[in-house]
Structure 1
Amino acid sequence: MDEIIVIRAADPDGSIFRAVVDVLRDKKGTVTEVIPPASPVLRVGELEIHHEYRRVLMAGREVRLNHGEYAMLYCMASSPGQVFSKAQLYAAAWGEEYLHGTNSVENIIWRLRQKLEEDPKHPTYIKTVIRGGYKIGKSP
């Protein structure tokens, strides 16, 4: 008898999907850890991301973001403190390989800072990591 398995999970880097596919290929598996579902709202300081509705609030006010802005912000906010390279952020936004020499990521980070930061020239949320990329601070 065939079985149908339905899994619903936030999986920004695809690791859960790959693990499930690996288990299904072997047709065996064990549950080693069950993690309760994460909150549908990501919070970093006064930043709130309501992913189900694709809604972003900063200090209670709604912030309108385009697709690329939202995708990069969500990617970083999903793992506060983790450094994301330009290539990772580009892939998160467009699902394509990063084109070296373009400044798309820098432009989006600039726009995000204009929309989210109190002082965009001295950001407290979206930090630049020299020779690394960008991250959202754990506690701005």
Structure 2
Amino acid sequence: MSEAAEMTTKWLRQWITAHGGVAGTVHARQGDEMRLTAAVNIPPQVVEIVRVVPKGKGMAGLAFERNAPVSTCNLKTDTSGDVRPGAKAVNAGAAVAIPVHDAAGRIRGVVGIAYQGERPMDDGELALLTSEAEALPSA
């Protein structure tokens, strides 16, 4: 693992813990795709599925496309179409994918966090998560 990947994984672990999460991912933008740079408590089969995420596909791809957080109250029972079948294999309930920006305001990545139980996320919680996700170290 590169030093940048180790730093990103360390940041992700701390961020997940600080917000009571159980799992998470970081994807870095490469053109019109997102490439996985860190994963915590994500099953290996899901890691393979989300290693490269096209714009508009899955929660990370939709957060990238919409330039807005994409959330679900329950990964396993979501019927919105935003949650892909692979994500349903993560042992978690609520989840959110948050776009992260560079100094010029362009999306540079997407950070995801999942929680043990089912629960809605209000605007205040999403705003806090978004603000703190923007502190993601640059790779």
TM-score (norm 2): 0.29
Larger Rg, first or second structure (1 or 2):
1
Structure number with higher relative contact order (C-alpha < 8 Å, ≥ 6 residues apart): 2
* Greater share of residues in strand: 2
TM-score, structure 1 as length reference? 0.29
